[in-house]
Structure 1
Amino acid sequence: MTTFNLLLIALIQGITEFLPVSSSGHLILLPSLSGLNDQGQIIDVAAHVGTLAAVVLYFWSDVRLALGGTLRLLRGKIDTKGAFLALCLIIATVPVIVVGLILKVTGLSDAMRGIAVIGWAMIIFGVVLYWADQNGPTEKTAAGWTLKDAVKMGMWQAVALIPGTSRSGITITAGRMLGYTRTDAAKLSMLMSIPTIIASAALLGLDVINAGDTGEMRDIGIVVGMSFAAALMALTLMMRLLQSVSFTPYVIYRIALGVALLWIAYA
């Protein structure tokens, strides 16, 4: 794979991973619309590692708190903020892992990787995001995250396995419906992405190992580095813009792209 292709994949993954526009949908569309070869699982793993590093760095204080809390959980104690945060993150991750395994075993995950599915998901869940953002109350903060809300957001996160839905988009939608502010809904969504990305990268990594595909270290390094830089930039920009801008620009992009994809699929 050429350096240009690697950079393109890394940029797309990095920029779209944390924006509510569906990174998986864009990566599926790349070979379909550009004629480029499919990037393969080893490159997918590398891109996920890069974006994981970006979100961990950006929310390091919360990640460090959760890591310390995980040690308390392993001792059977939920007596600190970190332990409770770690418990909420684990609970919120269970649904997407269970549903993801079911889809993989049954082969439904591959069956949904079509342009029409992505187009409809872009439009439908874009409209849902707009409605939730405009009508959801703003009475809760991330510091007040509850186990009940973690379960609900985790169930919504499982819906993101439909290509084009957007993991960040659907969890932000859930957060806004539950009454979290824009920035706090986004923060919870980003924290939820960490164990989800780890689980996804681990699953892809097992497939790579079983297939005996170790890949080229140069290609891996390029994708990890570029996806990290792009993800950190996109995440920083979005979190700053949410101080004064709604999710409407992302919704407009989703609907425009969705309409274009449906035209391609059905024309």
Structure 2
Amino acid sequence: MDIWQIIILAVTQGLTEFLPVSSSAHLILLPHLTGWEDQGVAFDVAVHVGSLIAVLMYFRADLKPLLESWIQSIKTRQLTPESRLVWGVGIGTIPAGLLGLAIAGLDFDESLRSPLVIATTTIVFGLLLGWGDMIGKRERDEYSLTWKDILLIGLAQALALIPGTSRSGITMTAALLLGINRKAAARFSFLLSIPIIILAGANESLSLIGTSVDWSALSLAVAFSAISAYLCIHAFISLLDRIGMLPFVVYRLGLGIVLLIWVV
């Protein structure tokens, strides 16, 4: 991989990981559109590490009191709104984790990565995002989530194993439909990304045991992914109440239509 390929792929991952447009779809499609060879598992792990660094840095002021409250809840067996949110992130991760383990050894992964599947999921879940943003009451924050709400959002997150769905998009859609406001839906979605990125990265890393990797290329990928993801999170949360989800819905519809034309 040359330096520009590394930068373009890493920035693409960073910009799309937390926007409701599907990072996996973009990383799958770029080699198709450019004629590049698939970037490989090591690169995918590296750019996800960058995304993880970005979300940890962005929420660093929130994470410490959340974790302290969670540890205290283990000792006292009493829940505060903060500790409840941390438990919620853990519970919301379980459906995607279990489904990921269940399908790990199956053969249909490549068929799900086809441009036709990505075009379809991009359009369908883009329309669902727009619908959720339109009809959602947006009266609650992330601390008001019930265990049922968290389970529903977790089940929605499991659908993101289908490329083109968008993990952030489907979790925000579910939260909006449950009456959570836009910023709270985004914050909870981003917090949910922490354990899921760690689990996915650890799983992919197992396949790298005993292989040689280009550490300088991977370090560059981590850096560009982290910087672009951090800036993306900051801009998205800052602008969300003003712009809503419509720009992302329009983008998804446009991308899906272009892909369908290309496939046909």
TM-score range, shorter chain: over 0.9
Question: Where do residues 246-265 of structure 1 align in structure 2 (5 Å cutoff)?
Answer: 246-265=244-263
CA distance in 2, matches of 1:183, 1:156: 18
CA distance in 1, matches of 2:35, 2:186: 34
- Deviation string 1:213-238 (CA, Å, 9 cap, x unpaired) is 24111011100000000001111111
Question: Where do residues 1-267 of structure 1 align in structure 2 (5 Å cutoff)?
Answer: 1-72=1-72, 75=75, 77-209=77-209, 212-266=210-264
Once the two structures are TM-superposed, the CA of residue 70 in structure 1 deviates from its matched residue by 4.4
Bigger shift: 8-17 or 142-151?
A: 142-151
Aligned CA-pair RMSD: 1.4
Given that residues 11 and 230 in structure 1 are in contact (C-alpha distance below 8 angstroms), is that contact kept between their aligned partners in structure 2? yes
Given that residues 82 and 143 in structure 2 are in contact (C-alpha distance below 8 angstroms), is that contact kept between their aligned partners in structure 1? no
Bigger shift: 171-180 or 97-106?
A: 97-106
**Partner SS state of residue 163, structure 1:** coil
**What amino acid is aligned across from residue 11 of structure 2 in structure 1?**
L
**Partner SS state of residue 244, structure 1:** helix
Once the two structures are TM-superposed, the CA of residue 62 in structure 1 deviates from its matched residue by 2.8
- Deviation string 1:31-50 (CA, Å, 9 cap, x unpaired) is 11110011111111110010
**What amino acid is aligned across from residue 252 of structure 1 in structure 2?**
V
**What amino acid is aligned across from residue 161 of structure 1 in structure 2?**
L
CA distance in 1, matches of 2:120, 2:158: 17
CA distance in 2, matches of 1:88, 1:111: 33
Once the two structures are TM-superposed, the CA of residue 69 in structure 1 deviates from its matched residue by 4.0
Bigger shift: 68-77 or 24-33?
A: 68-77
The TM-score with structure 2 as length reference comes to: 0.96
**What amino acid is aligned across from residue 129 of structure 2 in structure 1?**
L
CA distance in 1, matches of 2:77, 2:215: 42
Unaligned runs of 5+ in 2: none
CA distance in 2, matches of 1:160, 1:20: 11
**Partner SS state of residue 15, structure 1:** helix
Bigger shift: 153-162 or 200-209?
A: 200-209
